[in-house]
């Protein structure tokens, strides 16, 4: 069992492991990391052991995409953080959060394997999929992931001036002169991006959107259209009902619109709709009642059967986006899948800003880890990393960038069921040995709570849920202030 001691105001951990302690290290503190911890603490096959968990996180703040991905106007989704906090608080002597330590840079797999009996990698995703079509490097062809980071106050990691978000501000200031914005992809991230761009700002400002973002979002002077473009049809839209239904509430600034002509389903689509079931039928019902545009507002429209083939430079500036060329598609059955097949007909949509929202992508962090570059996942079987001893995976780095927070629950169960088959205690040094190796200041949970309180207090006078700290250096200062 691990005991924690405080010396003056400086908190440190001192190990008094017993020979029956399993020292587990979880890398990444998103939903997958926390649900894995929960499973480890309650698994019946480990009930005769003491499990001690060290959770490594590259940021000083835990919770991964719950903090930096989930849209700010969905605070009810972020409430899952309360469950994670309960888990930490009710296992204080068995759980150590170690923030500001980057796996792959500050520690490698070999180090963790030296210190811990078992390792679970759940470090998620930090890159995005590319379309690989001409013109993708033009100014104005942007990543939805970066935009999400920007409106969610993802911090500057290095001590750079200007910071990444100040550079983004400068870039978006110019790009927000756009008349038309295209978002490529029709998943929930695409809808988040469309909603944040078009939503009533009075509503948005009560959440935790950084001030500099609110200022810029108020300045979209020429914006007329946001097109959310799918390469397949309405039956294959990747968004979910709750998120689509929310698009009906963009008034008074914007209006969500689907052209009824696009909802005349072919026999193949009708057949698919019957097969796929109720959720998809509800999506179609929502689309059908959004059948009237309002020319006086920002028009947020779903477009279908268009596959991007080229980003075309503006005629006035060859470095900037001016339009996107799409190939029209028709749907074809391929085994169990319905694929978009090019028709040889093309359509060009003028637009000065495009967000690529076709999925996130994980990257390998350590050459010792077997990585499937095509799928962007660590090679594993039911969560057990192929060919590496005592090493497991959970979350998006295990199965790829899809699924909601709750998907991580079953996923963690599977991983831990595999892990318990052969995990055993050893005399490795655990968290104490790890901390000796780390040179920079680390952030424990108690330190993080200071950042949390600071942010909430800073938001109060302006009626916001919180004002996020935007630089890691400042987070560390707050965390370690005496
Ligand atoms: C924009 C967006 C919005 C979403 N909104 C919702 C929603 O509203 N509702 C919902 O249910 N689901 C939502 N999801 C899905 C949900 O966020 C994911 O299913 C879930 O977060 C995946 O969990 P994870 O733990 O695998 O990854 P993550 O949440 O990404 O957690 C990974 C953690 O690992 C850390 N990390 C990364 N690299 C390292 C490293 N080298 N060393 C140490 N730590 C590292 C990261 O900082 C992060 O804390 C959304 C996803 C996105 C992208
Ligand atoms: N509120 C929420 O619950 C919430 C919010 C955000 C994210 N999430 C979850 O997070 C996960 C990731 O979301 P996401 O939106 O990033 O991914 P996603 O759901 O996988 O959607 C990706 C979209 O990109 C399209 N696409 C992929 N490759 C393409 C290409 N080459 N050309 C054109 N279009 C392409 C896909 O179309 P095809 O289907 O044709 O491939 C799909 O419409 C999802 O599980 C999502 O539900 C949930």
Whose alpha carbon is nearest atom 8 of ligand 1?
70
Per-residue confidence (pLDDT) for residue 281, from 0 to 100: 93
3-class DSSP state of 44: helix
**Probe target for ligand 2 pocket from 238, 337, 355, with the most ligand atoms within 8 Å of CB:** 238
User: Looking at the structure, do residues 77 and 24 belong to the same domain, yes or no?
Assistant: yes
| Ligand lying closest to the C-alpha of residue 69 | 1
User: Looking at the structure, do residues 121 and 133 belong to the same domain, yes or no?
Assistant: no
From the CA of 232, give the closest atom in ligand 2: 40
| Ligand lying closest to the C-alpha of residue 98 | 1
Of 135, 115, 11, 4, which is closest to residue 446 (Cα–Cα)? 11
| Ligand lying closest to the C-alpha of residue 240 | 2
| Ligand lying closest to the C-alpha of residue 442 | 1
Whose alpha carbon is nearest atom 2 of ligand 2?
188
User: Looking at the structure, do residues 75 and 95 belong to the same domain, yes or no?
Assistant: yes
- Last residue of one domain, picked from the residues 326, 360, 394: 360
| 407-419 vs 31-42: helix crossing angle, rounded to 10 | 50
Per-residue confidence (pLDDT) for residue 123, from 0 to 100: 97
Per-residue confidence (pLDDT) for residue 19, from 0 to 100: 80
What separation in Å is there between the alpha carbon of 241 and the centre of ligand 1? 21
Per-residue confidence (pLDDT) for residue 17, from 0 to 100: 81
Whether the link from the prior residue into 252 is cis, omega within 30° of 0, is yes
What separation in Å is there between the alpha carbon of 266 and the centre of ligand 2? 23
What separation in Å is there between the alpha carbon of 64 and the centre of ligand 1? 5
* CATH label of the domain that carries residue 294: 3.50.50.60
**HSE-CB for 294 with a 13 A CA cutoff:** 12
Q: Is the dihedral of CA 217, 78, 61, 416 positive or negative?
A: negative
3-class DSSP state of 209: coil
Block mean pLDDT (10 aa), the chain, length 482: 39 63 97 98 94 98 98 97 97 96 98 98 94 98 98 95 96 96 98 97 95 95 97 96 96 96 94 88 96 96 98 97 98 93 98 97 94 95 98 97 96 98 94 95 97 98 96 97 81
- The pair of structure tokens assigned to 239 is 């968004």
- Last residue of one domain, picked from the residues 333, 360, 387: 360
Per-residue confidence (pLDDT) for residue 15, from 0 to 100: 53
Q: Cβ-count burial of 433 within 10 angstroms (0-12 exposed, 13-18 middle, 19+ buried)?
A: middle
User: Looking at the structure, do residues 105 and 118 belong to the same domain, yes or no?
Assistant: yes
- The pair of structure tokens assigned to 194 is 């469309």
Residues contacting ligand 2 via CB (< 6 Å): 131, 184-190, 192, 230-232, 236, 238, 240, 243, 307, 357-360, 401-404
- Last residue of one domain, picked from the residues 308, 330, 360: 360
How far apart are the C-alpha atoms of 117 and 115, rounded to whole Å? Answer: 7
- Spatial neighbors of 50 by CB under 8 A, at least 6 apart, are 1, 18, 20, 21, 22, 94
- Global confidence as pTM: 0.96
User: Looking at the structure, do residues 106 and 139 belong to the same domain, yes or no?
Assistant: no
Per-residue confidence (pLDDT) for residue 267, from 0 to 100: 94
Residue 301 bridge partners (DSSP): 227, 257
User: Looking at the structure, do residues 79 and 154 belong to the same domain, yes or no?
Assistant: no
What separation in Å is there between the alpha carbon of 403 and the centre of ligand 2? 10
How far apart are the C-alpha atoms of 189 and 300, rounded to whole Å? Answer: 15
What separation in Å is there between the alpha carbon of 124 and the centre of ligand 1? 6
Residues contacting ligand 1 via CB (< 6 Å): 27-33, 56-59, 64-65, 69-70, 74, 77, 102-104, 122-126, 148, 189, 192, 360, 365, 395-396, 403-405, 407-408
What separation in Å is there between the alpha carbon of 191 and the centre of ligand 2? 10
3-class DSSP state of 361: strand
How far apart are the C-alpha atoms of 87 and 445, rounded to whole Å? Answer: 12
How many residues make up the chain in this entry? 482
Residues spanned by the domain of 53:
2-126+362-479
How far apart are the C-alpha atoms of 304 and 302, rounded to whole Å? Answer: 7
CB 314 within 8 Å of CB 320: yes
CB 96 within 8 Å of CB 446: no
From the CA of 145, give the closest atom in ligand 1: 1
User: Looking at the structure, do residues 300 and 390 belong to the same domain, yes or no?
Assistant: no
| Ligand lying closest to the C-alpha of residue 362 | 1
- Spatial neighbors of 253 by CB under 8 A, at least 6 apart, are 198, 199, 200, 201, 297, 298
User: Looking at the structure, do residues 399 and 440 belong to the same domain, yes or no?
Assistant: yes
3-class DSSP state of 295: coil
Per-residue confidence (pLDDT) for residue 336, from 0 to 100: 87
- The pair of structure tokens assigned to 95 is 């759980």
What separation in Å is there between the alpha carbon of 362 and the centre of ligand 1? 11
What separation in Å is there between the alpha carbon of 297 and the centre of ligand 2? 27
User: Looking at the structure, do residues 378 and 243 belong to the same domain, yes or no?
Assistant: no
Per-residue confidence (pLDDT) for residue 1, from 0 to 100: 44
């Amino acid at each position: 069992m691990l005991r924690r001691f405080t010396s003056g105001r400086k908190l440190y951990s001192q190990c008094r492991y017993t020979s029956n302690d399993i020292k587990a290290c979880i890398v990444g503190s998103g939903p997958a990391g926390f649900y894995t911890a929960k499973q480890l603490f309650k698994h019946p096959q480990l009930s005769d052991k003491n499990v001690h968990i060290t959770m490594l996180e590259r940021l000083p703040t835990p919770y991964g995409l719950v903090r930096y991905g989930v849209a700010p106007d969905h605070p009810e989704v972020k409430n899952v953080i309360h469950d994670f906090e309960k888990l930490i608080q009710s296992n204080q002597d068995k759980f150590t959060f170690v923030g500001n330590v980057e796996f792959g840079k500050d520690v490698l797999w070999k180090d963790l394997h030296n210190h811990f009996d078992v390792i679970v990698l759940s470090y998620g995703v930090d890159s995005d999929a590319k379309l690989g079509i001409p013109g993708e490097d033009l100014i104005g062809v942007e990543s939805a992931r970066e935009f999400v980071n920007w409106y969610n106050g993802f911090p500057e990691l290095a001590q750079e001036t200007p910071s990444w978000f100040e550079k983004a501000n400068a870039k978006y200031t110019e790009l927000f002169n756009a008349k038309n914005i295209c978002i490529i992809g029709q998943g929930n991230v695409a809808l988040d991006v469309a909603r944040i761009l078009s939503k009533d700002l009075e509503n948005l400002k009560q959440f935790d959107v950084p001030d500099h973002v609110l200022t810029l979002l108020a300045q979209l002077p020429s914006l007329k259209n946001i097109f959310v473009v799918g390469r397949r049809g309405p039956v294959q839209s990747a968004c979910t009902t709750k998120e689509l239904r929310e698009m009906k509430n963009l008034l008074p600034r914007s209006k969500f619109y689907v052209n009824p002509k696009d909802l005349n389903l072919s026999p193949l689509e009708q057949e698919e709709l019957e097969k796929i079931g109720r959720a998809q039928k509800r999506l179609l019902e929502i689309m059908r009642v959004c059948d009237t545009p309002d020319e006086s507002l920002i028009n947020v429209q779903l477009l279908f059967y268009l596959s991007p083939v080229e980003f075309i430079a503006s005629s006035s500036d060859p470095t900037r986006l001016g339009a996107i060329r799409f190939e029209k598609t028709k749907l074809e059955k391929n085994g169990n899948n319905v694929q978009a097949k090019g028709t040889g007909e093309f359509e060009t949509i003028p637009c000065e800003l495009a967000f690529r929202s076709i999925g996130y992508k994980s990257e390998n962090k350590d050459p010792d880890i077997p990585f499937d570059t095509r799928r962007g996942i660590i090679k594993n079987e039911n969560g057990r990393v192929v060919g590496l001893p005592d090493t497991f995976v959970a979350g998006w780095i295990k199965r790829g960038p899809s699924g909601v927070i709750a998907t991580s629950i079953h996923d963690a169960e599977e991983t831990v069921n595999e892990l318990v088959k052969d995990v055993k205690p050893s005399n490795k040094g655990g968290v104490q040995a790890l901390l000796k190796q780390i040179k920079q200041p680390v952030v424990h949970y108690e330190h993080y709570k200071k950042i949390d309180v600071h942010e909430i207090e800073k938001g109060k006078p302006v009626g916001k849920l919180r004002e996020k700290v935007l630089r890691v250096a400042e987070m560390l200062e707050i965390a370690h202030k005496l």
